[in-house]
Every structure is written in structure tokens, then in C-alpha cells.
A and B are shown apart, each in its own frame.
Chain A
Amino acid sequence: MKKHIAFLLLGLICWSSVATAADKQEGAYRVKFDPAVVAEIDRLIKQGWDDNEVSPSPRAEDVTWLRRVYLDLVGHIPPLSVVEAFLKDSDENKRARIIDELLESRGYVENWTTIWTNELIGRQTPDRVSRNGMQKFLREAFAKNRRWDEVVYDILTAEGHFEENGAVNYLLSQMTMRDEGVQATAKTCRVFLGVQVQCTQCHNHPFNDWKQNQFWEFNSFFRQVRRVDHRRIDPQTGRQVDDYSELLPDNFSGPVYYERRSGLMQVAYPKYFGETVEFDNGESRIKILAESIKGDPNNQLARSMVNRMWGHFFGFGFTRPIDDMGPHNPASHPLLLEYLTEQFVKSEHDLKMLMRWVANSSAYQLSSEFNSKNQIDNPAAGEMPLFSHLYIKPMNAEQLFDSLMVAANADEMSKANYEESSRRRSQWLQQFVTTFGTDENDESTTFNGSIPQALMMMNGELVETATKCEQGSLLHRIVFSNDKDVRKVQQLYLAALCRLPNARDTAAIKKLFQMNSDPNVAYQDLYWALLNSNEFIFIR
């Protein structure tokens, strides 16, 4: 028991005492972006604060910010060793350096592959679509930091076998029903161009500018591809089973017919946002669409990506939702949206550079706590976002899984190979997905902060594994080290929450240890409490 009293006396250790051992470095890290771009972002954001008479919250603590940027860029919390090193680091540009390190990491490639696979084909892979194929294509795109406009061009124009050319899986996943490319039309507009047209299939849009003919003009680009599903005999059972699928050219020609509400039949020819294009001149129509998107003088593809990216980091984009842009839905920061679009195009659609600008902007450095002068900046309550403080956002299922792996130190615990662990991960993720079986392939998740998620955290295997204190786990390593108890507790807080315990925590920890004759049990329960807390699940 004496040991615990000793740690209580030291319990109120604060930030500075941990960070004292910081070693001075020769010169600051050299940033890899044009500071003028970030300065302009900052200026335009500040304009919004001034116009609305709000004052920004202070900068977030370094390690709070570290946790945030890890989750946003690589999809999991930082390992304890990184947290402790960052605390000690005195380089004034250490935030910029971490961003660059993360952008070059394998975690970045995996995270953005996951994000875009989910976006393009859904969390539940439709039948006869190859998730592996899609991932392979995206992994290469993000690893090489390919130009976004070219990635999209390849996705739209891909042909062939669904594992040999993984890019075909986007269109395959949108062509699961014989719907004449209706779903592919709506999804392509939404996911790449940030415009919602699905309603205009049947009638002129009640709110935005889209008319029914535009939907079908767009749709006619998707008519010269078709999917072919191959089957084979399973030698074991002698039954026919799915073999592979592929995307092939189709010799469709002429106009597309659609029905007006009045019952009148109409025709539509390929047009890009109302602009006439040449078609059926030897190039497939989907290629013409892909070229129109790539060469669009209005840069809608770039604008849509900028809006999406801003939303990724801040929880709210410049429009709400991020993929419903247009005159009917004015942007919160139109000048900034245009400026970033322009810069993104100038950078040759460099995704990493776009992320650098956003993650290095002053707004992204801020605390997520409100202050007395920015209470109105509350987009969760429906207000327009001003970005005068960070908005907390709950981890999604993938981020939680990967973060609990880091918290458990599971990489070292199980020597399971990569495929085995990614299989476990996708199996675990499936429990939260519900599909509606409609032609839109829409799905929802019960990983939404409701009771099943709380039950999973309290009683599920992931947190249990992280808190079991098995040989090789992070908890085991900390608890059985020669450190003092106060240090062990600090490490647990840093590992789970990226902060040190405060006075209230310390008082509660004292009680927890008093109730347990075995301190190891108390450590397990403490770690369980941290991992189950709101402070853990929210990116702050």
C-alpha cells in the first residue's frame, strides 16, 4: 500500500515537468509547403471570425493535437512511444514534421485506401465485386500519391477483370442491378463531383438547378459499358459458383429515352453539365465523360475534393452535406473554397499537399473546447461552421478497431500475419453494417454511438484483450516495469487519452487502488475505464 501513497504525492505532476528533458535541436524542421497558401487559408478563416464577432479557442495541447492528426491521417491513435517523444520534442515545427512523417507512412496508404474503398463500393461488398481488387488499385494510387484527376479518370474508364484491373470495381459495384446506369450516374455525380442528382431521375429537382433531362444526359455516358459475370463449376460440389466479373465495352448507340411525369417520352444525348460534347466518334462515352471531368474549366472535381477533405479534418465541410454542392446550397466560406480549389488544381491535384495545407492551417491547431466568445460556433446544433475551435467527432468503426489495436499493442501480441489480422478486422466491422437491399446499395451502421456500440466496448473482445494484461501487451509492459506507480498511471493516460491524469482522476485512482488488494487488477480496471470513456472515442 505504501507504494500507492507515494504515487499519490506525485500525482499532480503537470505537463512541463515531463517535457523538461527536451533536447534543443539545430534549427527547426523545414516545412514542405508554401507558407503563403496556409497564410491565405488563415486569413480567410479569420475573416469569418471577425465578421461573426467570435474569438478562436487557444491552440490545442501538443499531444492532444498529435492524437487528432494521427486519427485523421492514419486512422488510429498514436503509439505511446510517439506520444512521449513528441512531448519532449522542442522543434517549433514539430507539428509540420509529424504531418510529413505520417503522409509518408504505410498507415497513410492503408487508411486512405480504407476510406475510399468504403466510399466507392460500400462497407458491405456487393456480390460479384472484388474488394481486394478495389483496394489494390487505391493502395497504389495513394502510395504513389497519384494525381486525383487521373485516379478518377482511371476509375471511370477501367475495363477488364475485377482483380486484374481493380479500378473496374467502382462501376461494377454501381451496376449490381440492371438499372441502365442510373445508380452509376447518381453515385458518380455525388462522390466525385459533389452534386446530388438522384431525385432528378424522375422529375426536375425541387431545390437545385438540375433538371430531369440533365440526369439522363449524364446517364447516357454510362451506356457503353456492361458487366459480364462469369461462373464456373465447383469441382467439389459439381455446382455452378461465381467465378469472376469483368467490365466490357457495349455497343449501345443513339439517345437515351426517359419518361416525363406527364407520361411524355423524351430523348437525351450525352452532355456534361449542359455542355454539348462530341460522342460516338470512336471513343467510348465513358471516356468522354472522364475527359470532360478532367478538363472541366470549372474544376468541379477539384472543388468537390477540397470540400470533402476539409470536412474530413474538421468534421464539417464548407457545405452540408459535403456532397451536395450548388447554388441552392451556398458554401460557408466561398472564397476559401475557391482559393483552395485553385491551389489544388495548380498543385496538379496533389492530395498530400492539400492535406498538408489543411492540417497545417491555424484552425486545425485549435483546441476543441468552446470559449466564452465562440459559443455560437456550433455546427452540431445546425449553425454555420466558423472553425474557431475544433469540433469533436466520434471515431468510426475502423478508427476504433485500429486504435484499440494500438492501445493493446496487439501488433506485438499476436504474430498473426497481415492477411489474418485484416480478415479479423473486416469480420469485426461487419457486425455494424446493415444494408437495405435497394437499388442504391445504401447501407447504415449501428456503429453510431447507440447502445450496441456501448455494449461492444464494455463487454466485447477488443477491450477485453487490451485490458487482460497478457504477456506482450502494452498494459503488461507498463504494469510489470520497474517504474513507480505514478509513472505507470501517467503512461496509461498518455497511451489511451494523450494526456496526464488531473487531480480528480488521481483521487478516483486512489480509491480504485484502495479497493483492490491486487494492484494489477486496479490497473486493468483503470485502463478499461479509460478506453470506455467519451474522451477516448472522440477525436478532439
Chain B
Amino acid sequence: MSLYIPGSMDRRHFMRHLAAGSAATVPAFGFLNHLSANADQVRRNEKACILVWLGGGPPTIDMWDLKPGSKNGGEFRPISTKGDLQISEHLPKIAQQMDVLSVVRSMSTREADHTRGRYYMQTAYVPNPTVTHPSFGSVVSHELSSKRKYLEIPAFVSVGGGSGSSGFLGMTHAPFVVDSNGQIRNATQGAVDRRRLDQRLAMWNVVEDGFIKSDRGDLPQAHKDVYGKAVNLMTSQQMQAFQVNKEDPKVIEAYGNNNFGRGMLMARRLVEEGVPFVEVNLGGWDLHSQVFNTLRDQRLPTLDQGISALVQDLKSRGMMNNVTIVCMGEFGRTPRINQDTGRDHWAASWSLLIGGGGLKGGVAVGSTDKDGVAIEGKSYLPGDIWATVCKALGIPLNIVHTSKRGRPMKIANGGNPIEELI
């Protein structure tokens, strides 16, 4: 086929040619220019998940599952909430939103090393040297982006993150990592106009395809697919969703005018645009020392404001039943308080926050013993959390992915949705 691109042909038309010329499947190319007036409403009704990632491993015993009276109890007291459970006194705003949020108090996840724990919680699989499993955001991108053809921006956005990988699902489902300031570096075409860009891409396409055809594995094709996505994004109106500063200053203030608050606000804007999975990072939880001061003065107030503002905002926009929120890190922290008034890594018994998206709120699922060192009754794995999210997002649980080696991989590692939340 001819790759000569007349200057008058528009970019989208060209990119469709480009996609057709190879085995590339770049779903976003099927964009409809005549979006109807109610499109925004349609997108707002789409399902989505916002993962609040507490990197470093949060001391959940001081947040969601307090142990007053125990030697491990620490300095904080529990307070009542709008749900049927108590949480930390330093999360008072979230307490007021617990009618729609629940806590799973019986996570037992065995990996207490940052890298391995992060991998396990984000993919539902333990690390394995011969295969890289996709982070769950990539799984959601894989399952839902083809059903949202209007989406010109990536289906998996990570604000301030970068730990995840799309693994065997391919680079087109990799997390799109952005700063909370909403400035996407190099996203506007530099010095050249669109005609020049088209010329360049036409030439590029020939070199690119030549290398793909030379049989050197999957990487050359992945390179081309990612460029297709990048080009598509460069001229998209949907990029506005990243620009948090376009919000009313009062709204920015409500979320907290800090990286985390802006990230949460960006998450809402992206979800409204139809992005099915957004990860927002709040780090600084690796509290081997000074756990209580740091929580009380820094971490918890920021978290409290960001999550409560998001929930309120989603409620007022009628989106709460569509958007699932999961808040966790790679593990919890030791019930025992160490000599530096800190808590160390602990994966045996910990808690996470989950809600929205039609899941039951105000529930405490499972429990730990009086000192928080062991789970009483049934415990849950990351696969169970992601299976619950699948349920909320309408992703069937019988999906099986195939690794590059042909090994079947059940979605969410074959986990089961948590009954108490459905």
C-alpha cells in the first residue's frame, strides 16, 4: 500500500492507515469526531477504580483496626463513624464518609519486602523470574479500553507512581505516569506543524515496519504501538482532564492543595473523562521510627482530607456508585512497637479501605485478635480484593490471560469477591 500521505489528509485518517498497515491494534484510533451532547453524562456513568497507594506500607493498626488496651495499641484512640465500625481518631473526615466505605481487617499476604510486597498487592501474583505479571491497572486497561473507543488518553493513569508494569499484557497498557501538577512533559508537538508531523510519521512508519518485519521478537511492535498512543494523545482535548488548575480554587482547597490532594482531584477529573483506572500515590509510610508523631502531624491529615473530599465530590456528582476506591500499601506494619517508636514491615495481619462502585459501605470485614498479631477466621489475599474490584467494574471473573510462554493466568489470580461487600 502507498504510504504517501497528502498534506490535506487529517491526522486521524492517517493514523488509521498507519494502524491498518501493520498488525497494530491501537483502539483509540476509532475516535468519533461528532460526540453527542450527552457524551459527558455517558462517561460519567462509566465504572472506574481509584487506587490510593500508600507506598512504604501503612501502619493500618493505627488507622483502620485499632487495639485500645493492648500493649501493641499505640497512642491513638478509635472513634465512631457513619458506618458500623470504628477507625482512628486522626481520620475524622473519613469517619464521616464511612457510610460508603468499608474496611477489610483480615489481609494476610506473606510478602514483607517492599518490592515483593508491592508486586504481590498490585498484581495478585508473587514475583516469578520467568514472567512479569501485569499490575491490576493494566488488567483493567486491557479489559475496558477496547470498550471505550472514545478514550484518547491512556486507560491506566498513575499520579506520582511508576512502580507498576503492564507485564505480559504489553506496553500499551503500561501506567501513564504523571505529576500531580498536571503538566505532561513534551505532550505538545514541538516546533513543527501537523503537516510536518505527518510527513515525519509517514517516513518513520516505513523504518519502523521494516524493523518489525525483521523478526526480532515482540519489542519492535510494542514500540510502534506506544508511539501510536502517544501521537493520539498529543492533540487530544481529553488532556484537559490532567489540568487540575482549571478547577475552582475552592475545590482545590477542599481536596488539600498538596501533591496528594491535587492527585485525588485529578483522579476525579480523569474518571469523569472515562479513564477506568487511576492510581494516586501518597508515600512516606515506611515508619520504622516515630510512627505516631508522623501519622498524627503529617500522613493522616493529608490522607483524611484527600479521601474524604473525593468521596464527597463523587457523592455530589452522583458518581459514587460507579467509582470504586481502594486504599492500601504493600503491607501493614508490625503490631509490636519497636525501640525507635516505630513499626516494622508486617504482612501477616493488616487492613485496607475499600468502597464505592456499588460495594457495601460501613462494614468491617474480618477481624484480628486482641493484639493485632493474628487473623481470627477467614483471611484474604490481594486476588480477593481485585476480584471484588472486578465485580464492581463489571469485569467477568472467568477471564484467563495467557503469558508470553502460553501459561494461563486467571484474572486476579483466581481470587473471589468478598461476600460481605457485595
Contacts and interface: CB of A to CB of B under 8 A. Distances in A.
A448 B174 contact: yes
A512 interface: yes
A1 interface: no
B3 A450 contact: no
Contacts of B116: 199
Interface string A486-508: 00000000000100001011011
A502 B55 CA distance: 50
A370 B200 contact: no
B211 A464 contact: no
B372 to A, nearest CB: 13
B75 to A, nearest CB: 21
A509 B230 contact: no
A495 B344 CA distance: 53
Interface stretch (A139-147, A285-293, A432-440): A432-440
A370 B131 contact: no
A508 B57 CA distance: 54
Interface string B1-16: 0011001000000000
Given A437-B56, A534-B224, A459 B187 contact: yes
B203 interface: yes
A426 interface: no
A194 to B, nearest CB: 13
B190 interface: yes
B207 A444 contact: no
A27 interface: no
Contacts of B189: 458-459
Contact of A437 (B284, B404, B407): B284
Judged by DSSP, the binding face of A is mixed
B279 to A, nearest CB: 12
Contact of B129 (A324, A380, A512, A526): A324
Contacts of B129: 319-321, 324, 329
Nearest to B287: A439
A20 interface: no
Interface in B183-238: 184-191, 196, 199-204, 206-208, 210-212, 214-220, 222-224, 226-227, 229-231, 233-234
Contacts, number: 209
Contacts of B203: 508-509, 512, 525-526, 529
A451 interface: yes
B83 interface: no
A476 interface: no
A501 B191 CA distance: 27
A444 B210 contact: no
A4 to B, nearest CB: 14
Contacts of A202: 112, 344-345
A445 B163 CA distance: 8
A342 B280 CA distance: 50
Interface size, A (range): 35 or more
A442 B283 CA distance: 13
B175 interface: yes
Given A370-B216, A437-B286, A505 B207 contact: yes
Contact of B227 (A199, A203, A515, A532): A532
Nearest to A390: B216
A253 interface: no
A360 B219 CA distance: 26
B55 A455 contact: no
B174 A464 contact: no
A368 interface: yes
B402 to A, nearest CB: 11
B321 to A, nearest CB: 31
Interface of B: 3-4, 7, 55-57, 111-116, 118, 129-131, 154, 160-163, 165, 171, 174-177, 184-191, 196, 199-204, 206-208, 210-212, 214-220, 222-224, 226-227, 229-231, 233-234, 283-284, 286, 288-289, 340, 344-345, 403-405, 407
28 contacts: A177-B288, A178-B288, A202-B344, A203-B112, A321-B129, A369-B215, A380-B218, A394-B219, A431-B185, A434-B162, A436-B114, A444-B162, A448-B165, A449-B171, A450-B174, A451-B154, A451-B230, A452-B176, A455-B230, A455-B234, A458-B230, A460-B190, A502-B210, A509-B203, A512-B199, A529-B203, A533-B204, A534-B212
Given A434-B160, A442-B115, A516-B199, 10 more contacts: A380-B218, A392-B216, A431-B185, A439-B288, A449-B219, A515-B4, A515-B199, A526-B203, A528-B204, A540-B216
| A-B residue pairs, 8 tightest by C-beta | A381-B404, A454-B230, A434-B162, A529-B203, A529-B204, A382-B405, A534-B223, A382-B130
